[in-house]
Amino acid sequence: MCSGYYSYKEGYTPDFKGIDNFNGQIIHPQKWTDDVNYNDKNVIVIGSGATAVTIVPEMAKKAKHVTMLQRSPTYVVSAPEKDPVAKILQNFLPNKAAYFFVRWKNIIRQHWFFTLCKKNPKRVKDFILSQIRKELGPNYDIKKHFTPNYNPWDQRMCLVPNGDLFESIKNKKGR
């Protein structure tokens, strides 16, 4: 269950009516072990935050099918796993200098994006949703599954590396 945590010792687990009657295995990501077997099984990941959007594509590689169950959608943005600017700078600068410049580039970009979200939330929302539409195609219900009822950055956004969450959805291994 990807429902967030409030303690490193014990992750938050909501009370689910009838949970005692469930015959399957229930695993909180904070209690994940290497012996968890989900090969060729149907899996439900509860939550749509950072942990969920990270775990769904990975589980979809081995599971029969993975469903991400969410109370409400979260803004999801795709970005390259490897920073292309960092790759270039590492060829020309010592590692410490390249790290310094890439870190400041990321801080400035993040600040710019946050400011844009606050000044023109509709424009950013439309842009994010258009990018998801490009990833998933015109027939996918973006409004239902990826359109929160709040503005970008009113709550945190989720970043998916290389669009892997969208790939699992397109491959019908995740939804």
Task: Give the pLDDT of residue 109.
Answer: 93
8 A C-beta contact, residue 52 and residue 76? no
Q: Is 109 strand, coil or helix?
A: helix
- In this structure, which amino acid lies at residue 36? V
Res 1 pLDDT > 50: no
Query: Looking at residues 7-31, what average pLDDT do you find?
Result: 80
Pairing label, strands 158-161, 42-46: unpaired
Average pLDDT of the chain? 88
For 68, 89, 134, 160, the CA distances from 163, given in Å and listed in that order, are 16, 24, 11, 5
Q: Which of 5-19, 67-81, 89-103, 105-119 has the lowest mean pLDDT?
A: 5-19
Res 4 pLDDT > 70: no
Residue with tokens 């409004």: 143
Q: Sign of the CA dihedral 112, 163, 158, 152?
A: positive
Residue with tokens 């842009």: 127
**Burial of residue 169 (number of CB atoms within 10 Å: 0-12, 13-18, 19+):** buried
Question: Which residues, 6+ apart, have CB-to-CB distance to 71 below 8 Å?
Answer: 48
Query: Looking at residues 105-119, what average pLDDT do you find?
Result: 95
pLDDT tens profile 78-103: 989 888 999 899 999 999 999 999 99
Residue with tokens 């590492």: 90
Query: Looking at residues 130-145, what average pLDDT do you find?
Result: 93
Q: Burial code of 145-164, b = ≥16 C-beta within 10 A, e = fewer? A: bbebeeebbeeebbebeebb
Question: Which residues, 6+ apart, have CB-to-CB distance to 173 below 8 Å?
Answer: 60, 61, 63, 65, 66
8 A C-beta contact, residue 3 and residue 46? yes
